[in-house]
Amino acid sequence: MVPNEIVTGVRRVGDFVDFDPETPTVKVTLERSERGIGVAISWSESDSPYAAWFVGSHSLRIPPIATSKPVPKRACFQDSHGSVLLIRCWAQGFHSIIGGPGSGTLWSRAAILDVSEDIEFESPHGLRTEISGLREWLGVTSWTEQVEHDGGSVVATLTSQSPPPIVVGSFRGITVSLRPGWQIVRDRASDRRVVLDLVRCESTSGEPLGWDAHLAVHFAIRDLLVLSRWHPESCVEVFVSRADDPLRTEDGKDHGAQWREVVVADDKRALQPSGVRLHLYSWDLLKEAGVLHWLSLRDEFARALDPVISSIELQGTSPTTLLAHSGPGLEALGYLLMVRDGIAASSAARASLLTRFHRILQDLGDCLPFDGSTWAKTTVATYNGLKHANRAAPDEIDVLNAWRESVVVVRAWVALELGIPPELVKQRLSRDPQRHPFVKLGSA
How is the chain split into domains, by residue range?
Answer: 12-113, 126-263, 301-435
**Who wins on pLDDT, 305 or 193?**
305
Residue 244 has pLDDT above 90, yes or no: yes
* pTM for the full predicted model: 0.91
Report pLDDT for 293: 98
CB atoms within 10 A of CB 32: 22
Report pLDDT for 1: 62
**Who wins on pLDDT, 395 or 407?**
407
Do residues 141 and 135 lie in contact, with contact meaning Cβ atoms separated by under 8 Å?
yes
Runs of H (alpha helix) within 198-318: 211-229, 283-300, 302-310
Residue 418 has pLDDT above 90, yes or no: yes
18-27, 50-59, 256-265: least confident range:
50-59
Runs of H (alpha helix) within 72-229: 134-138, 211-229
Q: Are strands 12-17 and 26-33 parallel, antiparallel or unpaired?
A: antiparallel
Cα(77)–Cα(28) distance, rounded to whole angstroms?
8
Average pLDDT over residues 65-77: 80
Residue 98 has pLDDT above 90, yes or no: no
Report pLDDT for 393: 83
Tell me: the pLDDT tens digits for 335-390?
A: 999 999 999 999 999 999 999 999 999 999 999 999 999 999 999 999 998 887 77
Question: Hey, CA dihedral for 277, 280, 282, 287, is it positive or negative?
Answer: negative
Average pLDDT over residues 436-442: 84
Question: What secondary structure, in 3-state letters, does 8-44 show?
Answer: ECCCEEEEEECCCCCCCCEEEEEEEECCEEEEEEEEC
229, 233, 238, 241 alpha-carbon torsion, rounded to 10°? 60
Average pLDDT over residues 93-102: 81
Average pLDDT over residues 26-39: 94
Report pLDDT for 68: 67
Radius of gyration of the chain (CA): 27
Cα(151)–Cα(53) distance, rounded to whole angstroms?
71
Domain 12-113 falls under CATH 3.40.50: no
Tell me: the pLDDT tens digits for 248-296?
A: 777 777 777 899 999 999 899 999 888 888 999 999 999 999 999 999 9
Do residues 182 and 167 lie in contact, with contact meaning Cβ atoms separated by under 8 Å?
no
